[in-house]
Amino acid sequence: MGRALIAYTTRTQETRQIADLIAEGIRFSGHEAVVEDVKAIKNEAALAGYDAYVFGSPTYHGEMIQPMKTFLFLAEKADLENKAGGAFGAHGWSTEAQDRIYQTMKTVFKMDMVGGGPLPLKSAGLGGGIQMAQDYGRDIAKKMT
């Protein structure tokens, strides 16, 4: 059984809801999933011991919000190379945050990223968002086995 960390930041709790649904998808596959606000992760040692990492931030004015930027600098110090990864976040009109997180994980951290890109959802409850988030978790779980 593998362990996954879903680290998120949020403004309106939408990204938190998506994180919880991704965690459900991972758990449905028989793995452990820990959901954590990036503000609670204080050093790179806190990132040790996981087989997969999924990072999420909403897009706000075309950017990820500051706590995720700070967290990515911390995560860069951890040894995440070749670990399974994914990115997600809630958005209004554009998905820059999710795209930037995904590309950072792929190119800078050299992680084994899921699928063809991040999971961009306006809301967990809209347009099949619940199923899409759970399926993204299942895809992460497949990379852990």
Is residue 36 predicted with pLDDT exceeding 90? yes
| 85 beta partners | 53, 113
Confidence of residue 123 (pLDDT cuts 50, 70, 90): confident
Residue 84: the pLDDT is: 97
Confidence of residue 129 (pLDDT cuts 50, 70, 90): confident
pTM of the predicted protein model: 0.94
Residue 126: the pLDDT is: 64
Domain regions of the chain by residue span: 3-144
Write down the H helix ranges in 41-128. 66-76, 96-103
Report DSSP letters for 13-65, one per residue.
SHHHHHHHHHHHHHHHTT-EEEEEEGGG--SGGGGTT-SEEEEE--EETTEE-
Residue-wise pLDDT tens digits, 85-95: 999 998 777 77
What angle (nearest 5°) sits at the alpha carbon of residue 133, between those of residues 84 and 90?
100
Q: Is domain 3-144 given the CATH code 3.40.50.360 in the classification?
A: yes
Is residue 106 predicted with pLDDT exceeding 90? yes
Q: Give the chain's radius of gyration (CA, Å).
A: 13
